[in-house]
Structure 1
Amino acid sequence: MRADPQIARAMSAHGWFHELAPAHQAHVLARVRLQHFAAGEVLAHRKAPTEDWIGVHTGLVKLAVYNAAGDSCTFSGVPAGGWFGEGSVLKRELRRYDVIALRASDAIFLPVDDFHFLLDHSLPFSGFVIRQLNERMGEFIAAIQNQRLLSVEGQVAAALSQLFNPQLYPFTAQRLELSQEELGLLTGLSRQRVNRALRELERLQLLRLAYNRIEVLDLERLRAYAQRQI
């Protein structure tokens, strides 16, 4: 059966797909689905069975939990190019967080059984998943550390820097199409505090601000700024 052209184009943008053998590429193209979500829409619910490994093709999503009062804790933001949920897929457990679109987004879903098929039969895919898990662990440890030890400016600098992880988020460009409100949702900070932090980082010539856009001028200095505070 011939693959859907739209799905084939979407998958061709993701590096791990090109590492697969042709037969495994065909398997993926026959099984994945591409779905559009409006801003604020839920891609996957916390405590629901984990049925898919999810990739963000376009847009931006966040992984978060909410309590009964509506307070939230954001674990991570995932921009276009990022894939997530390997741990829950591997263990076939209930999902541990809500996945919410922060803007209009297109997501790719690979069913859990097909994820395990690739893991069992494709060495390149297994290698990719191991690297993902290693980088994700580092990201979560850094997020806890940053929240507890960094100033607001440091937290914003660290959050921006994390979006440039080439293993987790290979699509990220120097000019981030990211609003201050979205950055606030990723960091758990108010828009006002994010605005003040960004102005300070701009004053230090680490970034340049425009409408709904943040241009990182010196990524290494931005990372170093956050690390110096620890």
Structure 2
Amino acid sequence: MSDNSRVNPGRDSALGSARAAHSAPSYRVDLWETVPPATAAFLRQQGAMRRHRDGATLAQRGQALSAVLVVAEGRLRAVMRGIDGEEHLIRWIETGEAVGVGAVLSAVPMQADLVASGDCKVLWIPGADFIRAIRDNAEAGLAVARFLGSRLTEMLDHVAAQAYASVEDRVRSALVHLAVENGQPLGDGRIELRMTQEDLSRAVGASRQRVNEALKELERKGEIAMGYRRIVVTPARAP
């Protein structure tokens, strides 16, 4: 098979289609819907609820984390910073999602910064209590194992997406992923993403100018519609 005949998963997947959105896997895991009710009740009881202002840094890359964090309201963003201090968006952590599980279980430093993306409330569960909860309940342990497996697969998908040759392909791939993970269905096949072009440039790892050019091309093709601080992913056109 020649190189020209290979399928490019970024270019050949219709960005805005319900078909693409539903076939793309979702890696969002709501902790409270995953662990047994008794485990959830125990973790809620042991945790401390804290409020964080927009832009507050909850944890830094290289820092040991002694608690598992569960978003109660709002959302966090996991970012890595370049030498120049620029953020590279890894993912958003939405309400119900947990972060820091791997750091607590493996006693390894955080691999990304955690930053409040808007004002938010976060439940801080002491690591020792989290470990005790899953050690004492096999079902809870399996739930956490599935969670970690999902995170690993997501990380590999993220690495693969960054390997796409063109910025347009990387933007398309990022929008598909974000639409599945963080989008709001509008009821007519479209999915709305509340994000800025700066957010997207951080997710793609390209300049805002190049991302803007790619977005304009995708809009010209009818794959997206852009608005103020939002991008609407549109249904695929009939083949």
* TM-score category of the 2 structures, normalised to the smaller one: 0.7 to 0.9
| 1:40 alignment partner in structure 2 | 55
**Greater RCO (Cα-Cα under 8 Å, separation 6 or more):** 2
1:78 to 92, 95, 101: 92
| 1:58 alignment partner in structure 2 | 74
Gaps of 5+ in 2: 1-28, 185-190
1:209 to 226, 229, 233: 226
Q: Rg larger in 1 or in 2?
A: 2
Gaps of 5+ in 1: 1-13, 222-230
Distance 2:165 2:100 in 1: 27
Instruction: Note if contact 1:75-1:143 (Cα within 8 Å) is conserved in structure 2.
Output: no
| 1:141 alignment partner in structure 2 | 156
Distance 2:93 2:234 in 1: 19
1:192 to 199, 209, 228: 209
Distance 1:24 1:208 in 2: 43
> Over residues 29-58 of structure 1, what are the superposed CA-to-partner deviations in whole Å (9 max), with x where a residue is unaligned?
212233333333211022222112223441
> Over residues 43-76 of structure 1, what are the superposed CA-to-partner deviations in whole Å (9 max), with x where a residue is unaligned?
1022222112223441341231444x5355x361
Instruction: Note if contact 1:44-1:98 (Cα within 8 Å) is conserved in structure 2.
Output: yes
| 1:101 alignment partner in structure 2 | 116
The one-letter amino acid of 1:47's match is G
Distance 1:105 1:195 in 2: 29
Distance 1:187 1:18 in 2: 31
Report how many residues are paired. 200
Q: 1:71 to 1:215 in 2, by over 3 A?
A: closer
Written as runs of structure 1 = structure 2, the 5 A alignment for 1:126-165 is 126-165=141-180
Q: Does 1:177 align with 2:177?
A: no
Distance 1:125 1:78 in 2: 24
Shift of 1:22: 4.0
> Over residues 69-114 of structure 1, what are the superposed CA-to-partner deviations in whole Å (9 max), with x where a residue is unaligned?
5355x36122423433332221022222222234444333222112
Distance 2:139 2:174 in 1: 29
Distance 1:164 1:126 in 2: 30
Instruction: Note if contact 1:62-1:186 (Cα within 8 Å) is conserved in structure 2.
Output: no
